[in-house]
Structures are given as structure tokens and as C-alpha cells.
Chains A and B, each alone.
Chain A
Amino acid sequence: MSKPAEPEPAAPNPGQAERARPSLAELFIAFVAVALSGFGGALPWARRMIVERKRWMTAEEFNDDFALSQFLPGPNVVNFSVVFGSRFGGWAGAVVAFAGLMGPPLVIVTVLGVLYAQFGDLAVLSRILTGITAAAAGLILATTVKMAIPLVKQPQVWPKAVALVAFAAIGLIRWPLPVVLIALMPVAILLAWFWPASRIQPK
């Protein structure tokens, strides 16, 4: 059997023998710190905190657990907080990590939401937010390009076709997401089953 490509190359991590196990309080504080430093996505900060600073996991373990969080639908980093928390503290660890990641941002965004409800009609505010949204759209565009490049480099045609169909159905025709995914996902998974990347790509 040919080995499939790992989603991300894992860097070697020395000193994993003397890794510490975080307490519940440490878990909470670590995820609060990840949440508060993570502008435009919290993943890089989670990796930095857990693998590089605290050394609670090796890069391989982090990649494995993060693969599960991405494999599941729903917010990836939030899923990850539950997986990671449960590894070190069972259900209490999962709750604590989730609360650390979501609690402070939830309070901040709600305060901003209240302010927006009060002052959203101000022309000045509205102009500033328009500019920020234009920039934020660029952030998603950059992520999209980063995701697209490995796909474009692959010799297979089906991943490009699947991506185009998903874009057109959701972005242009505006069909409901559940309908599109129920139709498209089985097709995409079958295509991946019969034409996996590792079989065609030269070693």
C-alpha cells in the first residue's frame, strides 16, 4: 500500500520525554491567551502555545489532533480546544479549554455588538467598517489562494472540478449549503477513493 501524504510535515520535537501535563487552571489560562492573541484565526497561536512554548504536545500529536478538528464540521479551533482539553483533563478539561477559548472573545464581541447597535447609524462608523470589511475580504481571499495552490499543482482534474462546482453552487447560484453538500460530498469522497493523490503523483 502506498503511504498517503501527511497533511503537514511534522517538525522533530526534542525533549518530549520531560513534557509536563497541564493542570485545569493552566489549560484555561493557555486557551484564554490563545483566544486573545488570535486575530484573523487562532490556529497559529494555538500551535505556538501548545507545541513551542508549553511543549504539552509534539508537532506530530498536534497535527493529528488538529486533523480531527478539521475533519469534523464546525469551527476548527473550537473543536480542537475540546479534543486537546479532553486529552489532558477528561470532560472537565474539555469544558475548561472551550470556556477559555470562547469566554473572553464572546464578552468582547458582545460589547462591540452592543456598541454597534447604539452607534451603527453614524456615518463615520459605517465608513470605517466598510473599509475594514474590504480588508477582511482580502484576508479570506489570501487563505483561498493558499488553499488553491497545492490543488492546482496536482495532476488530477477532479479536485479542481469539485472546488469549482462548490464555488458556483454556493457563491453564484446561492443554493442552500446542506443541499449542495449532501449532493457533492459523496461524489467528492468517491472520487478521492478511486483517484487518490498518492497513486498518481510521482514519488
Chain B
Amino acid sequence: MNDNPLFTLASYFLVLSLFAIGGAVAAIPEIHRVAVETMHWMSDREFADSFAIAQLSPGPNVLIVTLIGYHVAGLAGAGVATLAMCGPTCVMAYFLARTWNRFRMARWRIAVQAGLVPVSLGLFAASAFIVARAADSNVLAVIVTVATAAIVYFTRISPLWLFAMGGLFGLTGWL
């Protein structure tokens, strides 16, 4: 076995990227399982904090992987984890871009796409559950989560305002 943490990060995120059906958010329960429960790279609290920091940064949701890589192996870890998570499917995307439209109406493509929708829905629900469980230690925190969900659902307000409100609530020390 290779004990180099960069090797561990690369091999883990290379495999995970192939199973991230629905994108980075769908992979969060699995990242939590490995980073917190199996590999003990970080505590539940550190995972939740990393998730918050990734959400605070502009850009794609995949950035939580960058933070985990940084936590495990510094700057090199950040780069390796991010490239491993993005690389395999980007290469596939590049080669499929040419042939994709040929399969537009193919029955297998429609079946695969329709089959994956409920799978990613289940993963998103698990993701919301895992993050809420890590963050919401009392009733008030649960209320912040549910209220934020309702505001996002019914309005088009920027998430930054909601993060600011959540941060203010957190500052009171009631959560």
C-alpha cells in the first residue's frame, strides 16, 4: 500500500467523481462518510465548517473537495483533490461533446437519464440531511435551515443574504 496522502486523495476522488451522479452536492454524504467516519481526516464540525466556507466562495459547489484536500495535505492536496474530482468526467465530456447529439432521441439515453433523476434526488435529500445533522444541534438551528429553504424556494433572493443572516444568528451563540 502507498501511504502518501496525495496518492490517497487522488485515488479516492478519482473514483468518487465517477459516482457523483447529479454533481458535487450529491457526493457530499459519501465525502462526509469517508473524510469523517472512515479516514478520520476531520471532525464533523470541521466538515460542516468546510462546507460553509465552500458555499461562501463563489464558483462551483465542487470546492469543498479543494478544502478537504488542503486540510489533508496542504496546497498540493488542494490541487490534487480538485483535479482528481474534475478530471475523469471532464475528459469524458470532451470526447462525448462530438457524438452526444447523435444519441439525442436514442431510447437507451432517455432511459438512462430518466433512471438517474430519482437516484440523484435521493442523493440530494441525503446530502441535505447529512449537512443539517452536522450543523443543526438544536431546534433554533433547524428553524434557520427550514426558513432558509422556504425563502430560497419562494423568492429569488441571493444566497449571500441568507448566509449573512445565518451567520448573524450563529454569532448570537443560540445555535
Contacts and interface: CB of A to CB of B under 8 A. Distances in A.
Interface of A: 4, 7, 35-42, 64-65, 67-80, 82-83, 86-87, 91, 94, 98, 101-102, 104-106, 108-110, 112-114, 116-117, 120, 124, 126-148, 151, 158-160, 162-167, 169-172, 174, 176-178, 181, 184-185, 188-193, 196-197
A177 B70 contact: no
B167 A132 contact: yes
A139 B155 CA distance: 12
A93 to B, nearest CB: 10
A135 B168 contact: no
Interface string B24-67: 11010110010001000000011011111111111111110011
A98 B53 CA distance: 22
A138 B145 contact: yes
Given A147-B121, A147-B124, A106 B82 contact: yes
Contacts of B124: 140, 143-144, 147
Contacts of A193: 107-108, 111, 115
Given A151-B121, A174-B37, A133 B162 contact: no
Nearest to B67: A113
B92 to A, nearest CB: 6
A132 B17 contact: no
B39 to A, nearest CB: 13
B59 A38 contact: yes
Nearest to A195: B114
Contacts of A132: 52, 55-56, 163, 166-167, 170
Nearest to B113: A71
Contacts of B27: 177
B33 A176 contact: yes
A162 B55 CA distance: 28
A135 B90 contact: no
B87 to A, nearest CB: 9
A139 B173 contact: no
A98 to B, nearest CB: 6
Contact of A79 (B56, B93, B167): B93
A80 B80 CA distance: 21
Given A35-B59, A42-B59, A189-B115, A144 B94 contact: no
B78 A110 contact: yes
Given A94-B94, A141-B145, A128 B122 contact: no
9 contacts: A39-B58, A74-B20, A128-B170, A132-B163, A138-B162, A143-B152, A145-B153, A177-B19, A177-B29
Given A79-B93, A134-B141, A159-B118, 8 more contacts: A109-B66, A128-B170, A139-B148, A162-B122, A163-B122, A167-B122, A177-B30, A184-B119
